[in-house]
Amino acid sequence: MKLSTRSRYGMRAILELALEYGQGPLQIKTIAEREGISNKYLEQLISILKASGLVRSIRGPKGGYVLTKPPHEITIKEVFSILEGPLSTVECIEHPESCERCIDCLTRDIWIEMQQAMLKVLESKTLADLIQKAKKCNSGSNFQI
């Protein structure tokens, strides 16, 4: 399984918002500069996150975007699900009717186990966990998201 650019860049953008949580809104231009993401692409990602309810916009000269809830309440699974859609290793896990071999498939149990392991990891981590790790690792220096 390979993560899309949408997920990787979207995660970087939402982590920027998490780092600034409680300190006021961030403008797209600022996030784009910090993360090396084009403004146009970042606008699309923020739009997806905004439509999901994880991010909201604040209008005005000092406006921008903020998280709608604290970083410790947002799991990595939630972010990836919004950006990628259902996190399935193979189609037949969610829709057994999609494969005529589903009932007799020797590998299906492996795909299910892989998916469960992946979801367990993503559910167990929050944005706050990543921020805390970054601050410990870099104690004051710039870190990469």
pLDDT in tens, 95-133: 888 888 888 888 888 988 998 999 999 999 999 999 888
Distances in whole angstroms, Cα of residue 34 to Cα of each of 18, 77, 96: 14, 24, 43
Query: Own/partner pairs for 108-114, CB < 8 Å, 24+ apart?
Result: 114/89
Joined tokens for residue 119? 């979801």
- Has residue 82 got a pLDDT over 70? yes
pTM here? 0.85
* Residue ranges covered by each domain of the chain: 5-86+126-138
Q: Does domain 5-86+126-138 have CATH number 1.20.120.550?
A: no
In the block, which residue shows the tokens 């991010």?
Answer: 55
d(C-alpha 114, C-alpha 127), whole Å:
23
Distances in whole angstroms, Cα of residue 38 to Cα of each of 7, 9, 42, 82, 138: 15, 10, 6, 20, 26
- Has residue 140 got a pLDDT over 60? no
pLDDT in tens, 31-76: 999 999 999 999 999 999 999 999 999 998 889 999 999 999 999 9
d(C-alpha 135, C-alpha 40), whole Å:
29
